[in-house]
Structure 1
Amino acid sequence: MTTQTVTPTAPAATGERSSLLRLYLSRGILAVAWALAFAGAHEDLNAPAITLLVVYPLVDAVSSLIDYRATPNGSERRVTAFNGMLSTLAALAIGIAGADGVAAVLHVFGAWAVVSGAAQLTVGLRRRGPELGKQWPTLISGGLSFLVGITYNIQAGGDHPSLDVLSVYATGGGVWFILQALLLGWKSRQLRARTV
Structure 2
Amino acid sequence: MSTQTIQAPSGIAASQWLRSYYFIRAGFSVAWVAAAFTLGKSAPPVAALLLVAYPLWDAIANIVDAQRSGGLKANPSQALNAAVSTITAIAVVVALGQGLHTVLAVFGAWAVLSGLFQLATGVRRWRAGAQWAMVLSGAQSALAGGFFIKQAIGAASPGITDIAPYAAFGAFYFLVSAIWLSVMQARKRSA
Partner of 1:141: 137
TM-score by length of 1: 0.87
Change (3 A) 1:111 1:44: farther
Query: Runs of 5+ in structure 1 lacking a partner?
Result: 1-10
Root-mean-square deviation (CA), in Å? 1.7
What letter is aligned with 1:54? V
1:104 and 2:102 aligned: yes
Corresponding position of 1:4: none
Instruction: For structure 2, list consecutive stretches of 5 or more residues without a partner in the other structure.
Output: 1-8
Q: Percent of pairs identical after alignment?
A: 33
Q: What is the 5 A alignment of 1:27-176?
A: 27-43=25-41, 46-72=44-70, 77-129=75-127, 132-163=128-159, 164-176=161-173
CA contact (8 A) 1:45 1:102 kept: no
Is the contact made by 1:117 and 1:144 (CA closer than 8 Å) also made in structure 2?
yes
Aligned residues: 182
Q: Tell me whether 73-82 or 107-116 shows the greater mean CA deviation.
A: 73-82
* Matched letter for residue 89 of structure 1: I
Query: TM-score, normalised on structure 2?
Result: 0.89
Where do 4+ consecutive residues of structure 1 move more than 6 Å? none
- AA aligned to 1:16 is A
Distance in 1 of aligned mates of 2:87 and 2:64: 17
**How much has 1:186 moved relative to structure 2?**
1.1
In structure 2, what is the Cα distance between the partners aligned to 1:74 and 1:33? 28
Larger deviation, residues 44-53 vs 168-177: 44-53
**Alpha-carbon distance in structure 2 between the residues aligned to 1:45 and 1:102:** 14
